[in-house]
Amino acid sequence: MATKTEVEAYQSVIDGLSTVAFGQIKALLQSLDTPNPIVFRDALMVTYPELMMPFMASASDVAAEWYTTLRAGAGTVGSFAPVLADPLPVANMQAGLSRSLAPLFRPQEFIGSQVLALLAGYSQKIIATAGRNTIHDSVMADPVRVGFARIPRADCCSFCGLLASRGAVYRSEASATGVVGAGVDASVTAGKVGGQGKGVKARGSRSLGSDGYHDHCRCVAAPIFQGADNSYANYTEKHFTSLYENASSGTLSEYSRRDPLNPQYDAISAKETLAAWRQANGTK
């Protein structure tokens, strides 16, 4: 498991890439200065992906080196070459770009800095995602058993904190970075005697299978190798579990309601859980 210093060093490099990219994005926007939003958008659709590709490639390289370092530090037996993730398809980048440029077509609401702020957030996300995907693809290809812990900043948002409160229990990148659920899938109990699985209900504010990262999110899904020092993951789990308990013992109870399908279970929606978390802990 990565130490606090190793996680922060990795985050710092990714942040550095995002900062340099942001400077180039500002210069690009100035070079495309035009009062016609359609012309501006069409030009950016071509130039923005070209600008971002090198930064995503660099993030993948950094993630691969980080994975190799953590693997070696855990004393894992056998050699393994990390798998560099495929670059984000241009069509995907253009879709995200369209959302960032939406204020251009709402002149009654448009504020000049909105597009730049949205582009900054989206660009940070896809740079960080390139690194995350490389770690994911490497874990999937690695013959050793690897778990994950979501490691956020101490001042992270309630959504990231809620996922981090689960600690170092994840067995796939999807559950550490996306939305996980409570319950047992029916496929697990098919053909077995006893209660049948009712399916998995999403935990968190997003649908099952979503990527679980927002713009400017600096959470890291750190791989956990058997035999490594997991003390930092345990510390992180304890910290965010205590925040969850603050919400559970206080304001969370105000949102609870009895589940009519299961009288022994107090159901609570993801929205209500996060609202209680924010109220109890003073986070966003």
Supply the pLDDT for residue 204.
34
Instruction: Find which of 33-42, 46-55, 73-82, 109-118 is predicted with most confidence, using mean pLDDT.
Output: 46-55
Read off the pLDDT of each residue in 216-245 and give the average, rounded to a whole number.
75
Read off the pLDDT of each residue in 225-236 and give the average, rounded to a whole number.
72
Question: How distant is the alpha carbon of residue 16 from its chain centre?
Answer: 18
What digits encode the pLDDT tens for the residues 109-148? 656 678 889 999 999 999 998 998 898 888 888 888 777 7
Tokens representing 13? 């490099």
Read off the pLDDT of each residue in 141-158 and give the average, rounded to a whole number.
79
Supply the pLDDT for residue 185.
37
Q: What is the pTM (predicted TM-score) of this model?
A: 0.73
Supply the pLDDT for residue 51.
96
**What DSSP string runs through 166-179?**
T-TTBSSHHHHHS-
Contact between 280 and 251 (Cβ < 8 Å): yes
Q: Which is more confidently placed, 206 or 241? A: 241
One-letter amino acid for residue 80 of the chain = F
- Residue 177 to residue 158: CA distance in whole angstroms: 14
